[in-house]
Amino acid sequence: MSSGFKEWDQGSHAEEYTIFASNIGEKLSIDEVSLSDGELYTLLTNKSGHGKNGTLVATINSTKSEDIINILQKIPLNERLKVKEITLDMAKNMEAAVKSCFPNATLVTDRFHVVRLVQNALQHLRVKLGWDALEQQNKEIKLAKEQRIKYVQKTFANGDTPKQLLTRSRYILAKNPENWTANQQERAKILFENYPKLKEVHDHVIEFRNIYQVNEKSNAKQKVLDWMGKTPRLEVTEFNSVMHTIEYNFEQILNFFENRSTNASAESFNAKLKLFRANLRGVRDKAFFLFRLMKLFA
């Protein structure tokens, strides 16, 4: 029995792009994913498809805004005007493409990407302190050798060395204090006593994460502005960069508080594609792989 691949009307350009205009809906997501050999595709998906048939709207073998625009403009304008909301990350290429192709759509910056940006700044400080601790340890070892005395490594009450304490605190700093286990509470107490700057920055991160619990947009706006006002006082370069990024995406970040929409459906769909690719043990024929995706999700 024929699979229908040879008769597929998009087969001639499938590796470049595919379009399924009938799957357009009011709420879409746009994201990038690696289909094979690290090659990035832009995927446009319909949230109402719930990761099943009717989800896939377009695949584009590029992440350049001009390429995305050229392909998405192949969808009739009257269909594109139906779109009311699109969730996306903070990539400016995606933003430019969406604004150009979907003039009626509100852009919503995904909450996960914003929180991860803030969290990464905290983790960067932790890693930096870890390198400082390692450098200090090396200096102490060298000094002990020069003085011909036995080097005794510094340890804290829980048995961690400074470097171990900072390394093992990665997951602690990624969680809210109320979710810490007893061992994590002990480690956090030692960590913050010895590295008070981490305590200050961690509290700042938790404050930002809590903003997303707010339901009213104007209230959230004021809390974000207050948070940004406090950020320079930390005197942490990474957080100044985070603050500027939030400024540049301010309105789209606040749009989350209209319908509390996220890009979770796109991330879940990407995970499905990666699992599908893994089950096939890689992609040898991209056109046929995309044909199979069409059968499953378009």
Question: Do residues 35 and 129 both lie within one domain?
Answer: no
Mean pLDDT for the chain?
90
Question: Do residues 88 and 104 both lie within one domain?
Answer: yes
- Residue 97's region, left for phi above 0, alpha for psi from -120 to 50, else beta, is alpha
SS3 96: helix
What is the C-alpha separation between 72 and 88, in angstroms, rounded? 16
CATH number at residue 48: 3.30.420
What is the C-alpha separation between 294 and 298, in angstroms, rounded? 5
Question: Do residues 239 and 272 both lie within one domain?
Answer: no
Q: What's the confidence (pLDDT) of residue 234?
A: 93
Look at residue 123 and tell me if it is in a domain. Answer: yes
Look at residue 132 and tell me if it is in a domain. Answer: yes
Q: How do beta strands 17-19 and 56-60 pair?
A: antiparallel
pLDDT per position as a tens digit, 226-277: 999 999 999 999 999 999 999 999 999 999 999 998 888 878 887 877 777 7
What is the C-alpha separation between 55 and 64, in angstroms, rounded? 23
26-30, 83-87, 106-110, 259-263: range with lowest mean pLDDT: 259-263
Question: Do residues 203 and 66 both lie within one domain?
Answer: no
Token output for 183: 């061992």
Task: Confirm if 133 and 148 have CB atoms less than 8 A apart.
Answer: no
DSSP 244: H
Look at residue 267 and tell me if it is in a domain. Answer: yes
Q: Which residue range forms the structural domain that includes residue 276?
A: 17-109+262-297
Question: Do residues 118 and 251 both lie within one domain?
Answer: yes
Question: Do residues 128 and 213 both lie within one domain?
Answer: yes
Question: Do residues 34 and 145 both lie within one domain?
Answer: no
Question: Do residues 179 and 157 both lie within one domain?
Answer: yes
Look at residue 201 and tell me if it is in a domain. Answer: yes
Task: Confirm if 205 and 119 have CB atoms less than 8 A apart.
Answer: yes
Residues recorded for the chain? 298
- Among 121, 94, 145, smallest CA distance to 239 is for 121
Question: pTM here?
Answer: 0.87
Name beta bridge partners: 2. none
Look at residue 1 and tell me if it is in a domain. Answer: no
Question: Do residues 234 and 289 both lie within one domain?
Answer: no
Look at residue 69 and tell me if it is in a domain. Answer: yes
Question: Do residues 279 and 185 both lie within one domain?
Answer: no
Look at residue 79 and tell me if it is in a domain. Answer: yes
Look at residue 2 and tell me if it is in a domain. Answer: no
Please report how many Cα atoms fall inside a 13 Å half-sphere around the Cα of residue 192, on the Cβ side: 14
SS3 269: helix
SS3 34: strand
* Cα 97 to chain centroid, rounded: 19
Q: Is the pLDDT of residue 35 over 80?
A: no
Tally the domains of the chain: 2
Question: Do residues 244 and 152 both lie within one domain?
Answer: yes
82-96, 161-175, 215-229, 271-285: range with lowest mean pLDDT: 271-285
Question: Do residues 21 and 128 both lie within one domain?
Answer: no
CB within 8 Å of 255: residues ≥ 6 apart = 106, 107, 108, 109
Q: What's the confidence (pLDDT) of residue 27?
A: 95
Contacts 24+ apart (CB under 8 A), 155-158: 156/190, 156/194, 157/186, 157/190, 158/183, 158/186, 158/187, 158/190
